[in-house]
A and B are shown apart, each in its own frame.
Chain A
Amino acid sequence: MVDRSARSPTLIRIITLRIALFAALAMAVQAALVFADYYFDNEQLATLMIERETGKLSKGFERRHDEAPYKLPHDLDRYGVQGGVYITRIRTPTGQILYTNCDARCDNHLLPHEVNPPDLWSRMLSDGKPLAVAGGKTYEVYGDKIFIEIAILHDSDGIMWAVIGREFADHLATPMAIMLLFVLGGTLLSIRQALRPVAKAAQEAGHLDPLDPSHLINQTSMPREIADLAAAVNRSLARIGALMKSQRLFTTAVAHEIRTPLAMMKLELGNIDHPRARKMEADLDALAGFIGQITALGRLESADRAVFRPVDLAKLADWVVTNIAPLVYDLNHTIAYSNLGAGSVEGHASLLEDALRNLIENAVKHTPEGAAIEVIAGPGPRLTVRDDAGVFDAPAQVPFGDLKADHMGIGLEIVRRIMALHKGRLEIEVEPGHLTAVTLLFDQDEL
């Protein structure tokens, strides 16, 4: 079972993280440049501080027709303090003072009353940070010119940093966030669309049946790179199919080549009237049985689900019991058959015959003489071989994997593979000293 927590991250996740990382790096570099640009350019910084503060002070004229001509905005209390470090003077071109918190320092730092100031001016009051500046800006309020002048003698409220922060937001964070959103969104959308055929191919590959040569990944409407990958997978599947086919041919050819000399040996032994010849005949039969198993394995290794046909389980069991009964009685056992309505399954008749025959042969070989073997077809899609000896010294419902090869040899391995091929399983029920029941269970709906 795949541990999902240990799986590799998706391509979308990798690309999202990479884009976010590089965007963060780009922003950091850009931020450093912006910061340096503003921080070390005192004149520009002073102008920006003057513009910011006078702009805020100009808000005191809004909606004040019928009241006092100017009221200091609430968030500018620093200009309401007499003798503070933030001073302002708001006047008309005629020299009328509309608002001021100045004392004698106004005259020291601001322009004289009689001077008609430029639209925007600023000057440094001292070197070093934080900046101490003076300046002013001309505004037009309700058709009249108003001069707003300020001086920041000591920037205790961090106006300079607020200006730098505002510049960051306006010229860096906002445009880069918008760009990141579009780049990331567009990239992810493109990748998702490009990966759609990959996901489809992966889904198809997950359902591929290596035992069915007609199962291939459909390359229609795939981008070229992914189609190349799918073609490579299909070529690999074809190679596996060819390998399995040649393995089958080799195994069955070897088995067939051995059977003819075995036939000669058996015929020759038949001409020798001696008890040791009979023993050799028995050994030869065992060898022929083993060859049969090898042939069955060869058939199984390359079994092709495309050739599955409906198999009537009751008919199959009837056929197998009819054919194997003489052998069972020769070995002094008995065999019986019951049909409880097994129905049909999709399968490979020859392989299923091999599976049932193996179970019966195992029951014959591994029980004492006189054991009664019963083959039961059904109910439902199942075949059971039961004997009344119960020679397995194991608890009931033994998991298949716990049975050692020593118990049943290659035969049970063949049965296990046949059942896996038919999407079925093997169940073993043991009551020591009483019975052993081995059931071929098909996890298919009855046909």
Chain B
Amino acid sequence: MDSLHAIGFYVSAAISLGGGLLVAFLPGRGARGLALGVSGLGIAGLYASLSADFAGLVALVCYAGCGLLIAAPRYRVVDFPVGMVWRQAGAVAAAGLFAILAYAAFRGDFVHAAYKGGEFGTAAIGRLLFAHDALATEAVGALVLVALVGATAAWRVRDRGR
């Protein structure tokens, strides 16, 4: 990875992680949605610096959608009946997960190879999506369909209950 891509990678990593931490600590749905969008921008930058431009574009659109959903006026508060101790235990478990996975990444014995890519690659990804891995693409399409139908049904049930 050359210096320009490396700088883009580190800046994008800082933006994505900073946005993620803001999602955790900012109050209010609007600020959280905006922070999630910023984090998505960083993740898209990470993809772009890893020569995955198409995935970056898809991620940019999807994370903007996630941010809009989180910040939408239809936001409803649903509190978990979970005590502070369990939340702190979850935070410690998240830190432990980071430590374990980071150790695994650090100790991993990876093969080093040169990369000759850099192209946008939409045609190749399209061939892979719709020819080689058509089943996985259809599974994600089915997931999107189920999610949209479920969301619509839930909204209609709630509106009918008013």
Partners in one complex: no
